Amino acid sequence: MRDLTRLAARLLATLLSAAAVVAVYLLVLSRGTLP
């Protein structure tokens, strides 16, 4: 069970980091800085 918990934690961290990247990209895109 401990391996499953570790895998779930890693997946959650990956999803959070990906969501943060998408949020920053959308924020910059909304400001019109990116082409």
b vs e for 2-34, b when ≥16 Cβ sit within 10 Å of the residue's Cβ? eeeeeeeeeeeeeeeeeeeeeeeeeeeeeeeee
Q: Which residue has the tokens 């924020």?
A: 27
Query: Mapped to the 3 state alphabet, what secondary structure does the chain carry?
Result: CHHHHHHHHHHHHHHHHHHHHHHHHHHHHHHCCCC
Q: 13: which 2 tokens? A: 């961290």
Q: What average pLDDT does range 6-14 have in this prediction? A: 97
Q: What is the pLDDT of residue 8?
A: 97
Q: For 26-35, write each residue's pLDDT tens digit.
A: 998 888 875 6
Average pLDDT of span 2-20: 96
pLDDT of residue 2: 85
